[in-house]
Structure 1
Amino acid sequence: MSGFARYLTPSEEHRRLGLACLGVGAQQVRRMNFDGRVLNCYGLMLVTRGGGWLEWGDRPRRRLPVRAPAAFVTFPGLYHAYQPDALGWSERWVLFDGPAAAAHESLGGLDREAPVIALGPGVQTLRRIFDSLNEAVEVGAPHRDVVAAALVQQLLAQLLVGRVNDDLSRVVRYLDEHAVEPLTVGEHARRLGLDEATLRSEVQRATGSTTKEYILRTRLSRAKRLLLSTDRPVREVAQAVGYDDPAYFTRLFTRRVGAAPTEFRRYGMEQR
Protein backbone atom coordinates (compact mmCIF):
# COMPACT_ATOMS: atom_id res chain seq x y z
CA MET A 1 0.00 0.00 0.00
CA SER A 2 1.40 3.42 -0.95
CA GLY A 3 0.14 6.97 -1.06
CA PHE A 4 -0.15 10.06 1.09
CA ALA A 5 -2.38 11.36 3.88
CA ARG A 6 -2.97 14.74 5.51
CA TYR A 7 -5.00 15.23 8.69
CA LEU A 8 -6.62 18.43 9.95
CA THR A 9 -7.86 19.48 13.37
CA PRO A 10 -10.40 22.27 12.75
CA SER A 11 -11.12 24.83 15.46
CA GLU A 12 -14.58 25.57 16.81
CA GLU A 13 -14.71 28.60 14.51
CA HIS A 14 -14.07 26.36 11.51
CA ARG A 15 -16.71 23.90 12.67
CA ARG A 16 -19.25 26.71 12.67
CA LEU A 17 -19.01 26.61 8.87
CA GLY A 18 -21.18 23.50 9.14
CA LEU A 19 -18.73 21.07 7.59
CA ALA A 20 -15.24 20.16 8.72
CA CYS A 21 -12.60 18.30 6.70
CA LEU A 22 -10.67 15.96 9.02
CA GLY A 23 -8.36 14.23 6.59
CA VAL A 24 -7.62 13.62 2.94
CA GLY A 25 -5.40 11.20 1.09
CA ALA A 26 -4.78 8.87 -1.82
CA GLN A 27 -3.39 5.36 -2.03
CA GLN A 28 -2.83 2.33 -4.18
CA VAL A 29 -4.23 -0.63 -2.24
CA ARG A 30 -3.76 -4.35 -2.78
CA ARG A 31 -5.27 -7.12 -0.68
CA MET A 32 -4.98 -6.24 2.99
CA ASN A 33 -5.88 -7.53 6.42
CA PHE A 34 -8.70 -5.22 7.50
CA ASP A 35 -11.28 -6.51 9.97
CA GLY A 36 -13.46 -3.42 9.69
CA ARG A 37 -14.10 -0.50 11.99
CA VAL A 38 -16.57 2.07 13.26
CA LEU A 39 -15.62 5.75 12.85
CA ASN A 40 -17.10 8.83 14.53
CA CYS A 41 -17.13 10.76 11.23
CA TYR A 42 -18.12 10.35 7.59
CA GLY A 43 -15.78 9.02 4.92
CA LEU A 44 -15.91 9.28 1.14
CA MET A 45 -13.76 7.00 -0.99
CA LEU A 46 -13.33 7.49 -4.74
CA VAL A 47 -12.13 4.34 -6.50
CA THR A 48 -10.59 5.27 -9.84
CA ARG A 49 -9.05 1.94 -10.82
CA GLY A 50 -9.75 -1.68 -9.97
CA GLY A 51 -12.48 -3.16 -7.83
CA GLY A 52 -13.42 -5.07 -4.72
CA TRP A 53 -16.26 -4.90 -2.18
CA LEU A 54 -17.71 -2.88 0.67
CA GLU A 55 -19.37 -4.46 3.70
CA TRP A 56 -21.38 -2.35 6.12
CA GLY A 57 -24.12 -2.16 8.72
CA ASP A 58 -25.20 -4.07 11.78
CA ARG A 59 -25.58 -7.84 11.64
CA PRO A 60 -26.57 -9.29 9.31
CA ARG A 61 -24.01 -7.18 7.44
CA ARG A 62 -24.52 -6.33 3.82
CA ARG A 63 -21.96 -6.47 1.05
CA LEU A 64 -21.86 -4.69 -2.31
CA PRO A 65 -19.33 -4.90 -5.14
CA VAL A 66 -17.24 -1.82 -5.89
CA ARG A 67 -15.97 -1.43 -9.44
CA ALA A 68 -14.17 1.67 -10.73
CA PRO A 69 -15.17 4.31 -11.44
CA ALA A 70 -17.18 4.35 -8.23
CA ALA A 71 -17.47 6.05 -4.88
CA PHE A 72 -18.59 4.74 -1.54
CA VAL A 73 -19.52 6.42 1.72
CA THR A 74 -18.94 5.31 5.30
CA PHE A 75 -21.07 6.69 8.11
CA PRO A 76 -20.37 7.67 11.73
CA GLY A 77 -21.27 4.96 14.21
CA LEU A 78 -21.82 2.37 11.46
CA TYR A 79 -19.52 -0.61 10.98
CA HIS A 80 -17.76 -0.88 7.62
CA ALA A 81 -15.07 -2.97 5.97
CA TYR A 82 -13.76 -3.01 2.42
CA GLN A 83 -11.36 -5.12 0.39
CA PRO A 84 -9.79 -4.65 -3.04
CA ASP A 85 -9.64 -7.72 -5.24
CA ALA A 86 -6.36 -9.47 -6.11
CA LEU A 87 -5.31 -6.73 -8.56
CA GLY A 88 -5.96 -3.97 -6.04
CA TRP A 89 -7.51 -0.56 -6.56
CA SER A 90 -6.60 3.14 -6.59
CA GLU A 91 -8.53 5.25 -4.14
CA ARG A 92 -8.79 8.84 -2.97
CA TRP A 93 -10.42 9.50 0.37
CA VAL A 94 -11.64 12.26 2.63
CA LEU A 95 -12.94 12.24 6.20
CA PHE A 96 -15.42 14.88 7.33
CA ASP A 97 -18.23 15.69 9.73
CA GLY A 98 -20.61 18.46 10.79
CA PRO A 99 -24.30 19.32 10.56
CA ALA A 100 -24.00 19.97 6.82
CA ALA A 101 -23.11 16.30 6.33
CA ALA A 102 -26.32 15.29 8.09
CA ALA A 103 -28.19 17.67 5.77
CA HIS A 104 -26.67 15.89 2.76
CA GLU A 105 -28.02 12.64 4.22
CA SER A 106 -31.49 14.18 4.41
CA LEU A 107 -31.19 15.32 0.79
CA GLY A 108 -30.21 11.82 -0.35
CA GLY A 109 -26.63 12.34 -1.48
CA LEU A 110 -25.34 10.27 1.43
CA ASP A 111 -27.51 7.16 1.65
CA ARG A 112 -26.92 4.53 4.35
CA GLU A 113 -29.02 2.06 2.35
CA ALA A 114 -27.04 2.62 -0.86
CA PRO A 115 -23.48 3.64 0.07
CA VAL A 116 -21.90 2.60 -3.25
CA ILE A 117 -22.38 4.96 -6.20
CA ALA A 118 -21.42 3.85 -9.71
CA LEU A 119 -19.92 6.77 -11.60
CA GLY A 120 -19.84 7.63 -15.26
CA PRO A 121 -18.26 10.74 -16.79
CA GLY A 122 -18.90 12.56 -13.49
CA VAL A 123 -15.84 10.83 -12.06
CA GLN A 124 -13.66 13.40 -13.85
CA THR A 125 -15.30 16.23 -11.91
CA LEU A 126 -14.75 14.38 -8.64
CA ARG A 127 -11.10 13.79 -9.52
CA ARG A 128 -10.57 17.48 -10.23
CA ILE A 129 -12.12 18.44 -6.89
CA PHE A 130 -9.90 15.92 -5.11
CA ASP A 131 -6.87 17.42 -6.90
CA SER A 132 -7.83 20.84 -5.55
CA LEU A 133 -8.42 19.34 -2.11
CA ASN A 134 -4.96 17.79 -2.09
CA GLU A 135 -3.44 21.20 -2.87
CA ALA A 136 -5.59 22.92 -0.25
CA VAL A 137 -4.19 20.83 2.62
CA GLU A 138 -0.52 21.08 1.66
CA VAL A 139 1.88 22.39 4.28
CA GLY A 140 1.81 26.18 4.25
CA ALA A 141 -1.50 26.45 2.39
CA PRO A 142 -3.44 29.49 3.71
CA HIS A 143 -6.78 28.93 5.45
CA ARG A 144 -6.60 25.24 4.65
CA ASP A 145 -9.52 24.34 6.93
CA VAL A 146 -11.86 26.84 5.24
CA VAL A 147 -10.84 25.91 1.69
CA ALA A 148 -10.92 22.18 2.44
CA ALA A 149 -14.43 22.45 3.91
CA ALA A 150 -15.66 24.29 0.80
CA LEU A 151 -14.16 21.63 -1.47
CA VAL A 152 -15.77 18.82 0.52
CA GLN A 153 -19.09 20.63 0.00
CA GLN A 154 -18.38 20.50 -3.75
CA LEU A 155 -17.66 16.78 -3.55
CA LEU A 156 -20.94 16.13 -1.74
CA ALA A 157 -22.89 18.28 -4.19
CA GLN A 158 -21.41 16.36 -7.12
CA LEU A 159 -22.21 13.10 -5.39
CA LEU A 160 -25.80 14.25 -4.94
CA VAL A 161 -26.09 15.16 -8.63
CA GLY A 162 -24.53 11.84 -9.59
CA ARG A 163 -27.45 9.97 -8.01
CA VAL A 164 -29.93 11.67 -10.37
CA ASN A 165 -30.65 9.55 -13.45
CA ASP A 166 -32.37 10.54 -16.70
CA ASP A 167 -35.83 9.58 -15.41
CA LEU A 168 -35.44 11.82 -12.37
CA SER A 169 -34.17 14.66 -14.55
CA ARG A 170 -37.25 14.25 -16.76
CA VAL A 171 -39.51 14.73 -13.74
CA VAL A 172 -37.66 17.86 -12.62
CA ARG A 173 -37.72 19.37 -16.12
CA TYR A 174 -41.44 18.73 -16.33
CA LEU A 175 -42.14 20.40 -12.98
CA ASP A 176 -39.91 23.35 -13.85
CA GLU A 177 -41.99 23.88 -16.99
CA HIS A 178 -45.45 23.21 -15.56
CA ALA A 179 -45.25 24.24 -11.89
CA VAL A 180 -47.41 27.34 -12.42
CA GLU A 181 -50.31 25.40 -13.92
CA PRO A 182 -53.38 24.89 -11.66
CA LEU A 183 -52.96 21.13 -11.30
CA THR A 184 -52.96 18.82 -8.31
CA VAL A 185 -50.01 16.56 -7.57
CA GLY A 186 -52.11 13.63 -8.78
CA GLU A 187 -52.77 15.38 -12.11
CA HIS A 188 -49.05 16.09 -12.56
CA ALA A 189 -48.34 12.43 -11.85
CA ARG A 190 -50.84 11.25 -14.45
CA ARG A 191 -49.33 13.55 -17.06
CA LEU A 192 -45.97 11.94 -16.37
CA GLY A 193 -47.41 8.43 -16.53
CA LEU A 194 -46.69 7.83 -12.83
CA ASP A 195 -48.74 7.14 -9.77
CA GLU A 196 -48.71 9.81 -7.07
CA ALA A 197 -46.49 7.84 -4.68
CA THR A 198 -43.85 7.27 -7.37
CA LEU A 199 -43.86 10.95 -8.29
CA ARG A 200 -43.36 11.92 -4.65
CA SER A 201 -40.47 9.48 -4.33
CA GLU A 202 -38.76 10.63 -7.52
CA VAL A 203 -39.11 14.33 -6.70
CA GLN A 204 -37.67 13.70 -3.23
CA ARG A 205 -34.70 11.85 -4.70
CA ALA A 206 -34.06 14.49 -7.37
CA THR A 207 -34.64 17.68 -5.37
CA GLY A 208 -34.68 16.87 -1.66
CA SER A 209 -38.21 18.28 -1.42
CA THR A 210 -41.76 17.04 -1.48
CA THR A 211 -43.60 17.61 -4.75
CA LYS A 212 -45.73 20.40 -3.28
CA GLU A 213 -42.69 22.09 -1.76
CA TYR A 214 -40.75 21.92 -5.03
CA ILE A 215 -43.68 23.39 -6.97
CA LEU A 216 -43.97 26.18 -4.40
CA ARG A 217 -40.25 26.99 -4.55
CA THR A 218 -40.35 26.98 -8.35
CA ARG A 219 -43.30 29.37 -8.38
CA LEU A 220 -41.62 31.74 -5.92
CA SER A 221 -38.37 31.70 -7.89
CA ARG A 222 -40.30 32.62 -11.04
CA ALA A 223 -42.14 35.35 -9.15
CA LYS A 224 -38.81 36.84 -8.04
CA ARG A 225 -37.63 36.95 -11.64
CA LEU A 226 -40.82 38.64 -12.81
CA LEU A 227 -40.72 41.20 -10.00
CA LEU A 228 -37.16 42.20 -10.86
CA SER A 229 -37.27 41.94 -14.65
CA THR A 230 -40.69 43.49 -15.36
CA ASP A 231 -42.90 46.28 -14.03
CA ARG A 232 -45.99 44.07 -13.95
CA PRO A 233 -48.24 44.71 -10.91
CA VAL A 234 -48.09 42.19 -8.06
CA ARG A 235 -51.58 41.00 -9.01
CA GLU A 236 -50.36 40.02 -12.50
CA VAL A 237 -47.21 38.42 -11.14
CA ALA A 238 -49.33 36.33 -8.76
CA GLN A 239 -51.53 35.14 -11.62
CA ALA A 240 -48.51 34.40 -13.80
CA VAL A 241 -47.10 32.00 -11.20
CA GLY A 242 -50.36 30.22 -10.43
CA TYR A 243 -52.15 32.28 -7.74
CA ASP A 244 -55.50 33.92 -8.50
CA ASP A 245 -55.66 35.55 -5.06
CA PRO A 246 -53.00 38.31 -4.89
CA ALA A 247 -53.47 38.74 -1.14
CA TYR A 248 -52.74 35.05 -0.53
CA PHE A 249 -49.72 35.27 -2.85
CA THR A 250 -48.41 38.30 -0.95
CA ARG A 251 -48.75 36.55 2.41
CA LEU A 252 -47.09 33.42 1.08
CA PHE A 253 -44.26 35.34 -0.61
CA THR A 254 -43.63 37.44 2.50
CA ARG A 255 -43.53 34.41 4.79
CA ARG A 256 -41.16 32.41 2.61
CA VAL A 257 -38.92 35.18 1.24
CA GLY A 258 -38.84 37.48 4.25
CA ALA A 259 -40.06 40.55 2.37
CA ALA A 260 -43.30 41.52 0.67
CA PRO A 261 -43.28 41.44 -3.16
CA THR A 262 -43.16 45.25 -3.42
CA GLU A 263 -40.29 45.41 -0.92
CA PHE A 264 -38.41 42.64 -2.71
CA ARG A 265 -38.79 44.53 -5.99
CA ARG A 266 -37.59 47.78 -4.43
CA TYR A 267 -34.55 46.20 -2.76
CA GLY A 268 -33.65 44.42 -5.99
CA MET A 269 -33.86 47.62 -8.02
CA GLU A 270 -31.70 49.49 -5.50
CA GLN A 271 -28.96 46.87 -5.77
CA ARG A 272 -28.67 47.18 -9.54
Structure 2
Amino acid sequence: MVEDADRWSAYLNVNRSLRDSGLSCRGAGEQYVAPMAELRSRRLSTHALVFVTAGGGEYFDDRRRRGLPVPAPSVIWLTPGARHAYGPRQEGWQEHWVLFEGTMTRVLEGADHWTSTEAVRSADPAALTGLPEAFSRLRRALQLPNRRSQLVAATVVAQLIGVALDATTRGPRQRAASVTGALLESATLPLSVAERAAELGLTVDALHDAAREASGLSPHEFIIQARITRAQHLLADTSSDVGAIGTQVGYDDPAYFSRLFRRRVGMSPSEFRRQEAARRQ
Protein backbone atom coordinates (compact mmCIF):
# COMPACT_ATOMS: atom_id res chain seq x y z
CA MET A 1 0.00 0.00 0.00
CA VAL A 2 1.16 3.53 -0.86
CA GLU A 3 0.14 6.24 1.61
CA ASP A 4 0.85 9.88 2.38
CA ALA A 5 -1.12 12.86 3.62
CA ASP A 6 -2.99 13.42 0.35
CA ARG A 7 -3.37 9.97 -1.14
CA TRP A 8 -3.41 6.23 -0.70
CA SER A 9 -3.57 3.29 -3.09
CA ALA A 10 -3.40 -0.48 -2.82
CA TYR A 11 -3.62 -3.44 -5.19
CA LEU A 12 -4.81 -6.90 -4.28
CA ASN A 13 -3.83 -10.35 -5.55
CA VAL A 14 -7.10 -12.12 -4.93
CA ASN A 15 -7.44 -15.74 -3.88
CA ARG A 16 -8.38 -17.90 -6.89
CA SER A 17 -11.64 -19.08 -5.30
CA LEU A 18 -12.68 -15.47 -4.71
CA ARG A 19 -11.74 -14.43 -8.24
CA ASP A 20 -14.07 -17.15 -9.52
CA SER A 21 -16.90 -15.88 -7.32
CA GLY A 22 -19.35 -13.11 -8.15
CA LEU A 23 -17.22 -10.10 -7.26
CA SER A 24 -13.70 -9.30 -6.11
CA CYS A 25 -11.73 -6.14 -5.44
CA ARG A 26 -8.42 -5.78 -7.27
CA GLY A 27 -7.37 -2.36 -6.00
CA ALA A 28 -8.51 1.02 -4.76
CA GLY A 29 -7.29 4.47 -3.82
CA GLU A 30 -8.06 8.11 -3.13
CA GLN A 31 -6.04 11.11 -4.23
CA TYR A 32 -5.93 14.70 -5.29
CA VAL A 33 -4.61 14.92 -8.87
CA ALA A 34 -3.00 18.15 -10.02
CA PRO A 35 -3.83 19.63 -13.45
CA MET A 36 -2.39 17.53 -16.28
CA ALA A 37 -1.10 19.03 -19.52
CA GLU A 38 -1.25 15.68 -21.31
CA LEU A 39 -3.61 12.77 -20.74
CA ARG A 40 -2.10 9.40 -21.63
CA SER A 41 -4.29 6.58 -22.90
CA ARG A 42 -4.26 3.11 -21.36
CA ARG A 43 -6.31 -0.09 -21.05
CA LEU A 44 -7.39 -1.90 -17.88
CA SER A 45 -7.77 -5.64 -17.39
CA THR A 46 -10.62 -5.10 -14.91
CA HIS A 47 -13.65 -2.91 -14.42
CA ALA A 48 -13.19 0.37 -12.55
CA LEU A 49 -15.33 3.09 -11.05
CA VAL A 50 -13.82 6.54 -10.58
CA PHE A 51 -15.75 8.97 -8.39
CA VAL A 52 -14.71 12.57 -9.10
CA THR A 53 -15.88 14.63 -6.13
CA ALA A 54 -14.11 17.99 -6.59
CA GLY A 55 -12.59 19.90 -9.49
CA GLY A 56 -13.07 18.89 -13.11
CA GLY A 57 -11.41 17.54 -16.23
CA GLU A 58 -11.96 15.51 -19.37
CA TYR A 59 -12.44 11.94 -20.55
CA PHE A 60 -11.43 10.46 -23.94
CA ASP A 61 -11.82 7.08 -25.62
CA ASP A 62 -12.02 5.69 -29.15
CA ARG A 63 -15.64 6.84 -29.48
CA ARG A 64 -15.09 10.27 -27.98
CA ARG A 65 -11.84 11.52 -29.47
CA ARG A 66 -12.85 15.14 -28.85
CA GLY A 67 -13.39 14.38 -25.20
CA LEU A 68 -16.19 14.60 -22.67
CA PRO A 69 -16.23 17.10 -19.82
CA VAL A 70 -16.04 15.56 -16.34
CA PRO A 71 -17.38 18.13 -13.87
CA ALA A 72 -17.53 17.19 -10.22
CA PRO A 73 -19.39 15.30 -9.01
CA SER A 74 -19.25 12.63 -11.70
CA VAL A 75 -18.75 8.89 -11.97
CA ILE A 76 -16.56 7.31 -14.66
CA TRP A 77 -17.12 3.65 -15.50
CA LEU A 78 -14.14 1.96 -17.18
CA THR A 79 -14.46 -1.48 -18.77
CA PRO A 80 -11.79 -4.15 -19.42
CA GLY A 81 -9.77 -3.72 -22.60
CA ALA A 82 -11.24 -0.34 -23.57
CA ARG A 83 -8.62 2.27 -24.40
CA HIS A 84 -9.26 5.51 -22.53
CA ALA A 85 -7.67 8.60 -21.03
CA TYR A 86 -8.97 10.91 -18.35
CA GLY A 87 -7.73 13.48 -15.89
CA PRO A 88 -8.05 16.97 -14.49
CA ARG A 89 -7.35 20.12 -16.42
CA GLN A 90 -7.10 23.65 -15.03
CA GLU A 91 -8.15 23.12 -11.43
CA GLY A 92 -7.14 19.54 -10.64
CA TRP A 93 -9.60 17.12 -9.06
CA GLN A 94 -10.25 14.78 -6.16
CA GLU A 95 -10.83 11.17 -7.15
CA HIS A 96 -11.76 7.91 -5.42
CA TRP A 97 -11.25 4.78 -7.54
CA VAL A 98 -11.81 1.07 -7.24
CA LEU A 99 -10.84 -1.85 -9.53
CA PHE A 100 -13.02 -4.96 -9.55
CA GLU A 101 -14.01 -8.05 -11.53
CA GLY A 102 -16.40 -10.98 -11.45
CA THR A 103 -19.74 -12.03 -12.90
CA MET A 104 -21.60 -9.49 -10.77
CA THR A 105 -20.14 -6.73 -12.96
CA ARG A 106 -22.92 -7.60 -15.39
CA VAL A 107 -25.37 -5.74 -13.16
CA LEU A 108 -23.72 -2.50 -14.28
CA GLU A 109 -24.22 -3.19 -17.98
CA GLY A 110 -27.61 -1.79 -18.87
CA ALA A 111 -28.53 -0.87 -15.29
CA ASP A 112 -30.79 2.19 -15.48
CA HIS A 113 -29.86 2.30 -19.18
CA TRP A 114 -26.20 2.91 -18.23
CA THR A 115 -24.15 1.18 -20.91
CA SER A 116 -20.39 0.97 -21.23
CA THR A 117 -20.59 3.26 -24.28
CA GLU A 118 -21.60 6.14 -22.01
CA ALA A 119 -18.57 6.04 -19.67
CA VAL A 120 -19.23 9.31 -17.77
CA ARG A 121 -22.28 10.34 -15.79
CA SER A 122 -22.91 13.34 -13.61
CA ALA A 123 -23.77 12.41 -10.04
CA ASP A 124 -26.11 13.60 -7.33
CA PRO A 125 -23.84 14.88 -4.52
CA ALA A 126 -26.41 13.85 -1.90
CA ALA A 127 -26.01 10.23 -3.00
CA LEU A 128 -22.23 10.36 -2.54
CA THR A 129 -22.22 11.24 1.15
CA GLY A 130 -21.36 7.63 2.03
CA LEU A 131 -18.18 7.59 -0.08
CA PRO A 132 -15.71 8.61 2.68
CA GLU A 133 -16.92 5.86 5.01
CA ALA A 134 -16.92 3.22 2.26
CA PHE A 135 -13.39 4.06 1.12
CA SER A 136 -12.18 4.23 4.72
CA ARG A 137 -13.48 0.69 5.24
CA LEU A 138 -11.89 -0.42 1.97
CA ARG A 139 -8.57 1.14 2.99
CA ARG A 140 -8.55 -0.80 6.25
CA ALA A 141 -9.39 -4.05 4.45
CA LEU A 142 -6.58 -3.63 1.94
CA GLN A 143 -3.95 -3.03 4.61
CA LEU A 144 -4.07 -6.73 5.56
CA PRO A 145 -4.79 -8.61 2.34
CA ASN A 146 -5.81 -11.96 3.87
CA ARG A 147 -8.85 -14.00 2.86
CA ARG A 148 -11.14 -12.23 5.34
CA SER A 149 -10.02 -8.81 4.12
CA GLN A 150 -10.63 -9.88 0.55
CA LEU A 151 -14.21 -10.81 1.43
CA VAL A 152 -14.72 -7.49 3.21
CA ALA A 153 -13.29 -5.62 0.22
CA ALA A 154 -15.70 -7.45 -2.10
CA THR A 155 -18.68 -6.35 0.00
CA VAL A 156 -17.48 -2.74 -0.10
CA VAL A 157 -17.14 -2.93 -3.89
CA ALA A 158 -20.76 -4.12 -4.10
CA GLN A 159 -21.72 -1.15 -1.93
CA LEU A 160 -19.81 1.25 -4.19
CA ILE A 161 -21.54 -0.14 -7.29
CA GLY A 162 -24.83 0.61 -5.55
CA VAL A 163 -23.64 4.13 -4.71
CA ALA A 164 -22.66 4.72 -8.35
CA LEU A 165 -26.06 3.57 -9.60
CA ASP A 166 -27.98 5.55 -6.97
CA ALA A 167 -25.95 8.71 -7.63
CA THR A 168 -26.45 8.56 -11.39
CA THR A 169 -30.05 7.35 -11.60
CA ARG A 170 -31.94 9.22 -14.28
CA GLY A 171 -35.56 9.82 -15.07
CA PRO A 172 -37.00 9.25 -18.57
CA ARG A 173 -36.24 12.80 -19.72
CA GLN A 174 -32.63 12.61 -18.54
CA ARG A 175 -32.14 9.22 -20.19
CA ALA A 176 -33.58 10.60 -23.43
CA ALA A 177 -31.17 13.55 -23.30
CA SER A 178 -28.30 11.12 -22.72
CA VAL A 179 -29.29 9.11 -25.80
CA THR A 180 -29.43 12.18 -28.03
CA GLY A 181 -26.07 13.26 -26.63
CA ALA A 182 -24.62 9.92 -27.73
CA LEU A 183 -26.27 10.30 -31.15
CA LEU A 184 -24.72 13.74 -31.48
CA GLU A 185 -21.24 12.37 -30.73
CA SER A 186 -21.52 9.68 -33.41
CA ALA A 187 -23.59 11.66 -35.93
CA THR A 188 -20.88 11.74 -38.61
CA LEU A 189 -20.28 7.97 -38.53
CA PRO A 190 -21.82 5.89 -41.36
CA LEU A 191 -24.22 3.89 -39.18
CA SER A 192 -27.82 2.84 -39.76
CA VAL A 193 -30.49 3.56 -37.14
CA ALA A 194 -30.41 -0.11 -36.15
CA GLU A 195 -26.63 0.01 -35.73
CA ARG A 196 -26.89 3.18 -33.64
CA ALA A 197 -29.49 1.53 -31.41
CA ALA A 198 -27.27 -1.53 -30.97
CA GLU A 199 -24.28 0.70 -30.06
CA LEU A 200 -26.38 2.21 -27.26
CA GLY A 201 -27.76 -1.12 -26.06
CA LEU A 202 -31.30 -0.15 -27.12
CA THR A 203 -33.96 -1.51 -29.41
CA VAL A 204 -34.80 0.56 -32.48
CA ASP A 205 -38.18 1.44 -30.94
CA ALA A 206 -36.53 2.58 -27.68
CA LEU A 207 -34.10 4.74 -29.66
CA HIS A 208 -36.99 6.33 -31.56
CA ASP A 209 -38.85 7.01 -28.31
CA ALA A 210 -35.80 8.58 -26.64
CA ALA A 211 -34.95 10.76 -29.64
CA ARG A 212 -38.51 12.06 -29.91
CA GLU A 213 -38.72 12.64 -26.15
CA ALA A 214 -35.59 14.80 -26.15
CA SER A 215 -35.72 16.51 -29.55
CA GLY A 216 -39.08 15.92 -31.18
CA LEU A 217 -37.26 14.28 -34.11
CA SER A 218 -36.76 10.73 -35.29
CA PRO A 219 -33.20 9.40 -34.95
CA HIS A 220 -32.72 9.76 -38.72
CA GLU A 221 -33.90 13.38 -38.73
CA PHE A 222 -31.82 14.15 -35.64
CA ILE A 223 -28.67 12.83 -37.35
CA ILE A 224 -29.33 14.89 -40.49
CA GLN A 225 -29.89 18.02 -38.41
CA ALA A 226 -26.70 17.40 -36.43
CA ARG A 227 -24.68 16.92 -39.62
CA ILE A 228 -26.04 20.03 -41.30
CA THR A 229 -25.43 22.11 -38.17
CA ARG A 230 -21.85 20.85 -38.03
CA ALA A 231 -21.40 21.65 -41.73
CA GLN A 232 -22.64 25.21 -41.13
CA HIS A 233 -20.00 25.72 -38.43
CA LEU A 234 -17.25 24.37 -40.67
CA LEU A 235 -18.35 26.50 -43.63
CA ALA A 236 -18.38 29.61 -41.46
CA ASP A 237 -15.21 28.96 -39.47
CA THR A 238 -12.84 27.20 -41.91
CA SER A 239 -11.69 27.52 -45.50
CA SER A 240 -12.05 23.79 -46.22
CA ASP A 241 -13.42 22.73 -49.56
CA VAL A 242 -17.19 22.14 -49.65
CA GLY A 243 -16.70 18.52 -50.70
CA ALA A 244 -14.24 17.94 -47.87
CA ILE A 245 -16.70 19.39 -45.36
CA GLY A 246 -19.40 17.09 -46.70
CA THR A 247 -17.10 14.13 -46.10
CA GLN A 248 -16.28 15.36 -42.57
CA VAL A 249 -19.95 15.43 -41.61
CA GLY A 250 -20.79 12.06 -43.13
CA TYR A 251 -21.59 12.61 -46.82
CA ASP A 252 -19.05 11.24 -49.31
CA ASP A 253 -21.03 12.40 -52.37
CA PRO A 254 -20.46 16.19 -52.76
CA ALA A 255 -23.47 16.64 -55.06
CA TYR A 256 -25.81 14.88 -52.63
CA PHE A 257 -24.42 16.91 -49.74
CA SER A 258 -25.01 20.18 -51.61
CA ARG A 259 -28.59 19.20 -52.53
CA LEU A 260 -29.38 18.17 -48.98
CA PHE A 261 -27.81 21.33 -47.56
CA ARG A 262 -29.88 23.51 -49.91
CA ARG A 263 -33.10 21.70 -48.95
CA ARG A 264 -32.41 22.14 -45.25
CA VAL A 265 -30.87 25.62 -45.16
CA GLY A 266 -32.45 27.27 -48.19
CA MET A 267 -29.18 28.01 -49.97
CA SER A 268 -26.13 26.16 -51.25
CA PRO A 269 -23.06 25.59 -49.05
CA SER A 270 -21.09 28.19 -51.04
CA GLU A 271 -23.88 30.76 -50.69
CA PHE A 272 -24.06 30.10 -46.96
CA ARG A 273 -20.30 30.60 -46.64
CA ARG A 274 -20.45 33.93 -48.51
CA GLN A 275 -23.38 35.08 -46.38
CA GLU A 276 -21.54 34.29 -43.14
CA ALA A 277 -18.35 35.97 -44.36
CA ALA A 278 -20.29 39.15 -45.20
CA ARG A 279 -22.13 39.09 -41.89
CA ARG A 280 -18.85 38.95 -39.93
CA GLN A 281 -17.23 41.87 -41.73
Alignment partners' CA distance in 1, 2:113 and 2:139: 22
* Residue 108 of structure 1, CA deviation: 4.6
> Are 1:113 and 2:117 counterparts?
yes
Find the aligned partners of 1:166 and 1:61 in 2 and give their Cα distance: 28
Query: What stretches of structure 1 move > 4 A for 4+ residues in a row?
Result: none
**Which of residues 88, 101, 116 is equivalent to 2:92?**
88
Given residue 137 of structure 1, which amino acid in structure 2 is its aligned partner? L
- State the one-letter code of the partner of 1:159: A
* 2:276 matched residue in structure 1: none
Report the counterpart of residue 158 of structure 1 in structure 2.
163
Instruction: Return closer, same or farther for 1:157/1:62 CA change in 2, 3 Å cut-off.
Output: farther
The CA deviation at 1:160 is: 2.0
Describe the superposition over 1:97-140 as per-residue Cα deviations: whole angstroms up to 9, x where unpaired.
Answer: 11111332143575222211211211112333222222222237
Superposed CA RMSD in Å reads 3.0
Q: 1:84 to 1:149 in 2, by over 3 A?
A: same
Q: How does 1:51-90 map to 2 (within 5 A)?
A: 51-57=56-62, 61=65, 63-90=67-94
Determine if the alignment matches structure 1 residue 48 to structure 2 residue 75.
Answer: no
Alignment of 1:143-222 (within 5 A): 143-167=148-172
- Provide structure 2 residue ranges, at least 5 long, that are not aligned to the other structure: 174-204, 211-281
Aligned to 1:103: 107
Maintained 8 Å contact 2:127/2:166:
no
CA contact (8 A) 1:53 1:84 kept: yes
Q: Does the alignment pair 1:3 with 2:31?
A: no
What TM-score do you get using the length of structure 1 for normalisation?
Answer: 0.56
Corresponding position of 2:189: none
Alignment partner of 1:138 is 2:143: yes
Change (3 A) 1:101 1:48: same
Mapped partners of 1:19, 1:42: distance in 2:
11
Q: Distance between the aligned counterparts of 2:100 and 2:120, measured in 1?
A: 17
Alignment partners' CA distance in 1, 2:114 and 2:139: 22
Matched, 1:37 2:61: no
Say which SS state the counterpart of residue 71 (structure 1) adopts: strand
State the aligned residue count: 175
Task: Label 1:97 to 1:162 Cα distance change in 2 as closer, same or farther (>3 A).
Answer: same
Distance 1:76 1:123, change over 3 A: same
Residues in 1 aligned to 2:172 and 2:110: alpha-carbon distance in whole angstroms: 21
* 1:17 to 2:21 alignment: yes
Q: Post-superposition shift, 1:74?
A: 1.1
| 1:109 and 1:157 in contact (8 A); partners too | no
Give the TM-score, by structure 2 length: 0.55
Contact 2:51 2:96 in 1 (8 A): yes
Question: Which letter maps to 1:36?
Answer: S
State the secondary structure of the residue aligned to 1:37. coil
Return 5+ residue gaps in structure 1 as ranges: 169-196, 203-272
Q: Which amino acid aligns with 2:26?
A: L
Q: Which amino acid aligns with 2:31?
A: Q
1:101, 1:67 → 2: CA distance?
25
Whether the aligned pair in 2 keeps the contact of 1:5 and 1:26 (CA below 8 Å) is: yes
Q: Deviations over 1:118-167 (max 9, x none)?
A: 11211112333222222222237771111111111111122223332355
Stretch of structure 1 that moved more, 152-161 or 71-80: 152-161
Cα 1:110–1:160 change in 2 (3 A) is: same
Whole-angstrom CA distance in 1 between matches of 2:52 and 2:108: 21
- Please name the residue that 1:129 is paired with: 134
1:51 and 1:68 in contact (8 A); partners too = yes
Percent of residue pairs identical: 31
